[in-house]
Amino acid sequence: MEKFDAIVIGAGHAGCEAGLALARKGHKTLLLTLSLDAVAFLACNPSIGGTAKGQLVSEIDALGGEMGVNIDKTLIQLRMLNQGKGPAVQSLRAQADKEEYHSEMKRTLENCENLFLKQGEAIDIAVDENGLKIVTTALEQKYGADVVVFATGVYLKSRIIIGDWTKDCGPNGFSNAQLLSNSLQNLGIKLLRFKTGTPARINGRSIDYSVLEIQPGEEQIQNFSFKTKKKKKNRAVCYLTYTNENTHQIIRDNLDKAPMYSGLIKGVGPRYCPSIETKIVRFADKDRHQLFLEPESLSTQEVYIQGFSTSMPADVQEKMIHSVKGLEKAEIMRDSYAIEYDCIEPTQLLPTLELKDVKGLFFAGQINGTSGYEEAAAQGLIAGINAALTLEGKEPIVLKRSDGYIGVLIDDIVTKGTNEPYRMMTSRAEYRLFLRQDNADLRLTEIGREVGLVDDARWRIFQKKKRELDRIFKVIETKFKVDEVKAFYEENGESLPKESVSVKDMLKRSNIDAFKVDKAFGLFGDFSFEIVNEMNIMVKYEGYLKQQKDEIEKFKKNESTLIPADFEYKKYHGLRLEAAEKLAEIKPLNIGQASRISGVSPADIAVLSVLVKKFSEERKGEE
């Protein structure tokens, strides 16, 4: 039996981040995957980022992860979503070259010291009397490790469903893992059954683009990775079209053939990314739904129909697609399908993503009941970091909800659980104005440096940015006389100041921003777009940001009140029975986490705070 420091099972987006984190921290790591062709595979949408997801990618990057670097290398179109809204909800989204994304990430893994990439199916996990984890493959190979990260995605007992046709396999026809679920159950792990799906891919040559709305990319926006030096050029465009009444009627006429409604699909699907047939039923008053046509790669004609996920029979799918403007003669290259799979109940995990009942086992990605590449990669990075810190005998890291979207994501799933595939959204983050994409490095790079993933080159970039921000904030103290700004104020519809005014005060006017000031007065010519943009946000939203920081300080007080691991909730009569049972099940680390558990009321928290304080004082007295 070959011995490793760590084993990561699965090389999707979670597994890649976990494996790289462990290996880059010097630990001999086996990354085991069902197929080398499925490494970092974009099984559904050929894109990275999107609303709230863009924030996750930049946070992964700030901590020293790889996803942001990889998408910057392989993107073919880049856009900033929600430009017309406030900075709290603006998010980067990139169309990836699907083939390049996979091959570039695989190349990164292959060239990483201490990382051993191996094709094989894990069928069993056992823990010996010394705590050594033993992973057995279908070929009866055995590997031992002190820590194991499960990042199996949607491959556990997965099956593809199209109409009444089913096949036991993973996404895109890849092999699945039939036996590992049983091994997890033998360890006492509770499993759930979830479902997701993907739209058809059609031949770009068969699309009538002349009648569709073009969706170009943008040039003057930030990259995903703070390491990327050059602006990425857009190499492709997307197109927009819509369903219509004819499409909806075809779907209504064939609902009895839809596996979601016939009962063939048993798994719970995502509420926020429903199939087109679910949309037609749920939103019966809408006369159309948006569809985006997205190129999968520059090396193929395959085009992804975002918004048209379905598990209808193939002949019905064809009628549905041909009813859409511009797709009347579309040639279907890959049929749409639904996929069911096993995942775990995530409340069995600590906020470190370690299993509560078995030390040294970590879980990350869609096996935790989440959806999305970005959510998976974020968990993979944290699981990999904490698995490495366990090997090093160091304290794990737990990102708070006030630290980043990653903190919100993990806190939500391990504290509240999920009864459907969990998707990150800006509305889930209470402090979203503070947790912006542009300042992810300011929030998290120091943490990444402390855990050993931010290298010297990345650290220098971070230090330079801080110096540039300090410098630009000195520049905006520059003052102008009233007659010097008179024409500028009038041009922008602002009333004149009564006395000389600083640039900082100018920026607080509704119709004035840093880019207009630069065009008029040429103050920021030697600063990058990113520095000017970030300063602009910080000044314009200064009052709101201060208010949010005050709220964060209050939040941190509850987070700092730790609950001893051996605290026995059911022992105390002051707690309601329901609350005591919930608390005993989740085992929160602190009062803040306890307050977010479903079924635990503010009154319960007040009682718990008193009991924990009393418990801690009694323990000190005994010592």
Q: What is the pLDDT of residues 531-561, one digit of tens each?
A: 999 999 999 999 999 999 999 998 988 888 8
Distance CA 364, CA 116 (A): 19
Distance CA 342, CA 273 (A): 19
Burial of 130 (C-beta count, 10 Å sphere; 0-12/13-18/19+): exposed
Residue 33 Cα distances to 150, 178, 244, angstroms: 11, 14, 42
* Mean pLDDT value across residues 50-74: 97
> Which of these CATH numbers, 3.60.20.10, 1.10.3720.10, 3.90.180.10, 3.50.50.60, describes 2-197+341-450?
3.50.50.60
Distance CA 330, CA 193 (A): 34
Residue 340 Cα distances to 176, 211, 256, 279, 308, angstroms: 11, 36, 19, 19, 18
CATH code, 561-622: 1.10.150.570
Distance CA 602, CA 474 (A): 45
Distance CA 105, CA 124 (A): 27
Nearest to 439 by CA among 182, 222, 622: 222
Helix extents (H) in 95-179? 98-110
Lowest mean pLDDT: which of 269-273, 311-315, 580-584?
A: 269-273
* Mean pLDDT value across residues 501-512: 96
Q: Which position has the token pair 């119709």?
A: 511
Per-residue pLDDT at 571 exceeds 90: no
Per-residue pLDDT at 423 exceeds 80: yes
Nearest to 440 by CA among 61, 110, 8, 184: 61
List CB contacts of 372: < 8 A, sequence separation 6 or more.
53, 423, 424
What's the angle, vertex CA 436, arms to CA 56 and CA 109, rounded to 5? 30
- The predicted pLDDT at position 264 comes to 78
Helix extents (H) in 187-313? 245-253, 259-262, 276-282
Q: Which residues pair with 395 in a beta bridge?
A: none
- The predicted pLDDT at position 623 comes to 61
What architecture (CATH level 2) is domain 201-338? Answer: Beta Barrel (2.40)
Kindly report the length of the chain. 623
Can you list the positions of beta strands (E) in 103-173?
A: 115-119, 122-127, 133-137, 142-145, 147-150, 159-162, 165-167
- The predicted pLDDT at position 83 comes to 87
List CB contacts of 33: < 8 A, sequence separation 6 or more.
10, 11, 15, 39, 117, 118, 119, 120
519-557 in b/e form (b: 16+ CB < 10 A) is eeeebbeebeebbbbbbbbbbbbeeebeebeeebeebee
Per-residue pLDDT at 119 exceeds 90: yes
* Mean pLDDT value across residues 122-143: 96
Residue type, 573: H
- The predicted pLDDT at position 114 comes to 98
- The predicted pLDDT at position 574 comes to 81
Can you tell me whether residue 562 is helix, strand or coil? strand
Distance CA 341, CA 169 (A): 10
pLDDT in tens, 561-570: 899 988 999 8
Report which of residues 72 and 220 the model is more confident about.
Answer: 72
Pair of tokens at residue 469: 């921000």
Pair of tokens at residue 121: 């199916």
pLDDT in tens, 315-352: 999 999 999 999 999 999 999 999 999 999 999 999 99
Distance CA 16, CA 25 (A): 14
Taking a C-beta distance cutoff of 8 angstroms, is the pair 54, 139 a contact?
Answer: no
- The predicted pLDDT at position 618 comes to 78
* Mean pLDDT value across residues 27-56: 97
Query: Matching CATH topology for 2-197+341-450 and 561-622?
Result: no
Residue 488 Cα distances to 484, 493, 561, angstroms: 8, 9, 52
Report which of residues 270 and 554 the model is more confident about.
Answer: 554
Report which of residues 574 and 424 the model is more confident about.
Answer: 424
- The predicted pLDDT at position 223 comes to 93
Rounded mean pLDDT of the chain? 95
Distance CA 429, CA 425 (A): 8
CATH fold of 468-550 reads Arc Repressor Mutant, subunit A (1.10.10)
Q: β-strand 290-295 against 302-306: which pairing, if any? A: antiparallel
Share of the chain above pLDDT 70, in %: 99
- The predicted pLDDT at position 620 comes to 74
Can you tell me whether residue 156 is helix, strand or coil? strand
Report which of residues 282 and 453 the model is more confident about.
Answer: 453
Q: How far apart are the first and last CA of the chain?
A: 45
DSSP annotation of 330 = P
Distance CA 276, CA 247 (A): 10
List CB contacts of 154: < 8 A, sequence separation 6 or more.
43, 170, 171, 196, 339, 341, 366
- The predicted pLDDT at position 251 comes to 95
pLDDT in tens, 468-492: 999 999 999 999 999 999 999 999 9
605-616 in b/e form (b: 16+ CB < 10 A) is bebbbebbeebe
Per-residue pLDDT at 409 exceeds 80: yes
Distance CA 438, CA 73 (A): 19
Residue type, 45: N
- What residue ranges do the domains of the chain occupy? 2-197+341-450, 201-338, 468-550, 561-622
List CB contacts of 165: < 8 A, sequence separation 6 or more.
313
Assign 272 a pLDDT band (cuts: 50, 70, 90). Answer: low
Task: Note the pTM of the prediction, 2 decimals.
Answer: 0.95
